[in-house]
Structure 1
Amino acid sequence: MTGGPVLWAAVAWAVFLGAHLALNGRWWLWLLPSLLPPPLFAAVPAALLVLAWAAGDGAAGAVAGGALLLGARQCGLVPGALVRRPARPPEEGTVRVVSWNTQHWCQSTDPDPFYAFLRELDADVYLLQEYHHDEFDGTYRLIDDERRLRATFPGHRAVIARGLITLSRLPVAATVETAARRTLRVDLELPGGRGRLATFNVHIPVQLRLISPLRAEFYRAVRTRAGDRAREYAGLARDVAGCPHPALIAGDFNTTAAIGDARHIARLGADAVPLTGRLCPTSWQPRPGLRWWRLDWVLTTPGARVHSYRFRDPRGLSDHSVQEVTVSLTGPGPRTPADTRLRPRLHSEGT
């Protein structure tokens, strides 16, 4: 093939994109290339399209334009956010929910500002991940900070399991065992008999360990965690499908629009992200210059409606932004025989 450097660059990107679309979510090793910042899937072919126009290279322009169209769903851009407006909430019955990956529960920060920040968020329901400390060897150590939790949130009940915490000012109807091992389901009764909202507090395992990629252990960990992630998503899909109540599914999915597992997320429920008003929403590494990835999601199933959704600055207390939503039920939740699946409450509850 002959042609200038722009054509060669466009073809190279098209070959990479073709491999990405074919292997993403199907081959464990492709978890690594899929960690690229999603906006690159729009920025690279768009830049090549401009260069092709400037060079008068029609072939390069055609290749770059095709790559731009084919990679559009990988880039994480949300054009609907520019036109969608928040739904007007009802006068009563809305619930304020915060979901946040706490980055190992103030392991490397002062607990006082950490707890003060949690209190300042003033949510009816908190879905918090990483209630543990990192052992820096691929494992985690569970912690017990319930005394301070009770003192800080005297009006909330705490349900704790699997390194996850759900704190609720609303009555806890029940906790439900889940097939997904890194998910905590807590069903809440909305005030005034408005129905039951099932909350799924989710933390999908991260793809890799932060060790040298020159070590075989690095690739063993990627393969093992790919299997863990597949099992978590399969279990979560069964859990959500079997839930008889409107559900809010939120947490750290460690998945961007460019990762094949985003297909599983799309099947769980409606993504609330257009309500952020951001064309390119991001939630991980909130520091300037590193805001390229959205790993945290809020989803709802029929019967639950999100009225507002935003990401809040964690003020250096975590590498994840805070997800803050208001949600209500569109009608009373059903009471079906499926409720017989409810089991005793998990590990611990506060007052």
Structure 2
Amino acid sequence: MSATEVGVPDKDPSSPPAAVPTDGPVGTASPPDGRRRRATRLLVAATTAWTVFLVLTVLLTGRWWPWYIVQNTPPLALVAVPLLLLLLVPLARPVRLPLSAVLVVLLLAGAHLAGYGPGWGTATANHPGTPVKVFVWSTRYWQMSDDKDAFYAFLRRQDSDVYLLQEYLYWQGDEPVRIDDSARLRAEFPGYRLSVEGELITLTRLPVVTAHHAPVSGGGDDWYWKGSKFQRTDIRVGGRTVSFYNVHLPVPFHLGNPLKFSTYRALRDRGHWWTGELRKLRADLAGNPHPAVVSGDFNSSWMKLSSLGAGTRLHSPDGSWLPPRSWPVSGFAYPRLWRLDWLFTNHDLAVAGDRFGGGAEFSDHVAQEIRVVVPDRAPSAPSKSTS
């Protein structure tokens, strides 16, 4: 029986092939399936959220107390997050080109803020003037749980002209304990002048012009909770007076039960404490006619966004594309992800060397060794023209 006999027409070999149904106009590709559409939406939403986070970090860091918790995000995240999103961009085919452009901008901005890439190091070799070796270190409650002899041997080996040391105290439970190790210090560092301000200690073998002290009224623990969180010592270097600021700003955030109002009150108080001490430091620098070296533990990863004003310059170690990291999340066994220890100078001071290293066996902070050069003469003021 033939096909014609059963009602099936013969196919004309010259006729065009039957059209394949499409979901859209002829000649256009099929739209992404549901999974691809969801991936695109998620990537766009994640990029938008990260953009908002980066902008808020620039605007709110050091200025709004609720943001102190958020700003403890490791600076590494400013590179890792946009890089991860870039790797996932091929999943968002309809918008992959504009999305890639946005993420590249976010990656470059984040890398700059976090200190990746060249351009942060400011050391100047062979600068004329008097060199001063400065050793800066947050000691983790002095030698409270360390081998005392090894601790002092480590400090002596630094052979520095100026020591700026923090956490000159012990800690029991939730209470600071004041200590007096001045006899041992004078024995270990003969010829050095010792100055103590709360839990801050400055040692120097250079002549001290003025050791500034801010008196604290009240007893008990007020020396710690109400005392100044920076110590200023004016020191004679060559023929000039240079102010050395030893800084240990308070921890600006508080972790507690999020269901309790007291947690947010403590977070607010901590944030105001940090901001208030930074404001006092700025004011002192603004009223100080001498060139200044400002260094120590600022308890913030974002001092690039919290200027000290008064013409200060932020310095970072040279020779690496990676940002310096001086503090781990907890204890000694964790990787260091944050830089909490910073260096600023102003006026005509130069930095001939700046590096992190040493002290890990005694403290959770890495020590900082700085070489400052003080020009022999202060720059002359520009003469006023007369008409």
TM-score of the superposed pair, with normalisation by structure 2: 0.76
Distance 1:293 1:176, change over 3 A: same
> C-alpha separation between the residues in 2 aligned to 1:316 and 1:274?
22
Aligned to 1:202: 247
Secondary structure at the counterpart of residue 196 of structure 2:
strand
315-324 vs 284-293, greater mean Cα deviation? 284-293
Residues 1:31 and 2:78 aligned together:
no
Sequence identity of aligned pairs in percent?
39
Picking from 284, 288, 297, the partner of 1:243 is 288
Q: Which runs of 5+ in 1 are unaligned?
A: 335-351
Paired residues of 1:245 and 1:333 also in contact (CA < 8 A): no
Aligned residues: 328
Paired residues of 1:240 and 1:268 also in contact (CA < 8 A): no
Residues 1:308 and 2:345 aligned together:
no
What are the superposed Cα offsets for residues 263-306 of structure 1, whole Å, 9 maximum, x if unpaired? 23466611221436453111113957522111101111112111
Paired residues of 1:237 and 1:268 also in contact (CA < 8 A): no
Residues 1:272 and 2:315 aligned together:
yes
> C-alpha separation between the residues in 1 aligned to 2:368 and 2:357?
6
What are the superposed Cα offsets for residues 90-110 of structure 1, whole Å, 9 maximum, x if unpaired? 4x7211100111111122222
Give the root-mean-square deviation of aligned CA atoms. Answer: 2.9
TM-score of the superposed pair, with normalisation by structure 1: 0.83
Picking from 201, 207, 211, the partner of 1:165 is 201
Secondary structure at the counterpart of residue 66 of structure 2:
helix
Paired residues of 1:268 and 1:299 also in contact (CA < 8 A): no
1:252 deviates by: 0.6
Q: Which runs of 5+ in 2 are unaligned?
A: 1-36, 216-226, 380-387
Aligned to 1:41: 78
Paired residues of 1:249 and 1:300 also in contact (CA < 8 A): yes
Residues 1:17 and 2:54 aligned together:
yes
Secondary structure at the counterpart of residue 146 of structure 2:
coil
Residues 1:175 and 2:203 aligned together:
no
Paired residues of 1:311 and 1:323 also in contact (CA < 8 A): yes
What are the superposed Cα offsets for residues 48-72 of structure 1, whole Å, 9 maximum, x if unpaired? 1232157542343244234335545
| Bigger-Rg structure (1/2) | 2
Paired residues of 2:138 and 2:165 also in contact (CA < 8 A): yes
Which structure carries more relative contact order (alpha carbon 8 Å, separation 6+)? 1
Aligned to 1:323: 368
Q: How does 1:288-303 map to 2 (within 5 A)?
A: 290-303=335-348
Secondary structure at the counterpart of residue 106 of structure 1:
coil
Aligned to 1:105: 142
Residues 1:185 and 2:232 aligned together:
yes
Aligned to 2:24: none
Secondary structure at the counterpart of residue 336 of structure 2:
coil
> C-alpha separation between the residues in 2 aligned to 1:167 and 1:321?
19
2:236 partner letter = E
Paired residues of 1:49 and 1:61 also in contact (CA < 8 A): yes
Q: How does 1:215-226 map to 2 (within 5 A)?
A: 215-226=260-271
> C-alpha separation between the residues in 1 aligned to 2:257 and 2:335?
21
Distance 1:73 1:98, change over 3 A: same
Secondary structure at the counterpart of residue 28 of structure 1:
coil
